[in-house]
């Protein structure tokens, strides 16, 4: 059976860290739209140049561009058994597109773990990450915009998935390995 997992959580909740750990533990590829955009940026592709204008401001790249990129990625052979989606979907339009896309693959979302972290902790983590990784979009102004975008565009998806009975809340303020253990357990149940 195919296992598509949608990892939800605000910027700084630890989605990337956890998706990488799940990738190893469950042998499912991590598909992170932010990473895909950053790879395009680095290789200076047309897609990268377009994405940069949005990413630099902390805004979302338009849905049709993002969805097309995800469709491409999920069509790769390594995603045949499923994937861990990290940072996608981020809008209700993207969520609808994902449902349609998976139905084309005769698949559906298995579970939507939500890594829950308090707002103050999130900002603190993002500022720290800015110092360590030097990500261009981890500055105070961009962090503020990304949080706003998360609350207005992405947070409504929590209700969308909850109504479908797919949402499982995970305490994201535990130690990294404890969060991984909770997530692994939740995903294994649906594999």
Q: 147 Cβ partners below 8 Å, 6+ apart?
A: 10, 11, 119, 122, 123
Q: 189 Cβ partners below 8 Å, 6+ apart?
A: 111
Q: Indicate which single residue of 21, 73, 90, 125 sits in contact with ligand AMP (rule: CB under 6 A).
A: 90
State which of positions 95-134 bind ligand AMP (CB under 6 A). none
Residue 144 annotated in active site: no
Q: Is 5 helix (H, G, I), strand (E, B) or coil?
A: strand
Q: How far apart are CA 10 and CA 87, in angstroms?
A: 9
Nearest residue to ligand AMP, using CB?
A: 34
Nearer to ligand AMP, 137 or 182 (CB): 137
3 binding ligand AMP? (CB under 6 A): no
* Least distance CB 87 / ligand AMP (angstroms): 3
Q: Which of 2, 20, 52, 129 is catalytic?
A: 129
Q: Which of 42, 90, 144, 188 is catalytic?
A: 90
61 binding ligand AMP? (CB under 6 A): yes
Q: 11 Cβ partners below 8 Å, 6+ apart?
A: 122, 126, 143, 146, 147, 150
66 binding ligand AMP? (CB under 6 A): yes
What token pair was written down for 4?
A: 């598509």
Positions annotated as catalytic residues are 15, 90, 129, 135, 146
């Amino acid at each position: 059976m195919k296992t598509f997992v949608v990892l939800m959580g605000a910027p700084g909740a630890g989605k990337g860290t956890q998706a990488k750990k799940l990738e190893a533990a469950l042998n499912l590829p991590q598909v992170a739209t932010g990473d895909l955009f950053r790879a395009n940026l680095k290789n200076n592709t047309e897609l990268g140049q377009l994405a940069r204008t949005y990413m630099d401001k902390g805004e979302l790249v338009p849905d049709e561009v993002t969805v097309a990129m995800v469709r491409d990625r999920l069509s790769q052979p390594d995603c045949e058994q499923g994937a861990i989606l990290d940072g996608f979907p981020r809008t209700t339009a993207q969520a609808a597109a994902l449902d349609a896309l998976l139905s084309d693959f005769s698949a559906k979302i298995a579970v939507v773990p939500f890594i829950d972290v308090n707002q103050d902790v999130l900002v603190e983590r993002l500022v720290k990450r800015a110092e360590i990784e030097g990500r261009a979009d981890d500055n105070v102004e961009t962090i503020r915009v990304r949080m706003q975008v998360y609350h207005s565009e992405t947070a409504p998806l929590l209700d969308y998935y909850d109504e479908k009975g797919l949402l499982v809340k995970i305490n994201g303020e535990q130690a990294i390995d404890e969060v991984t253990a909770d997530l692994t357990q939740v995903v294994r149940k649906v594999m």
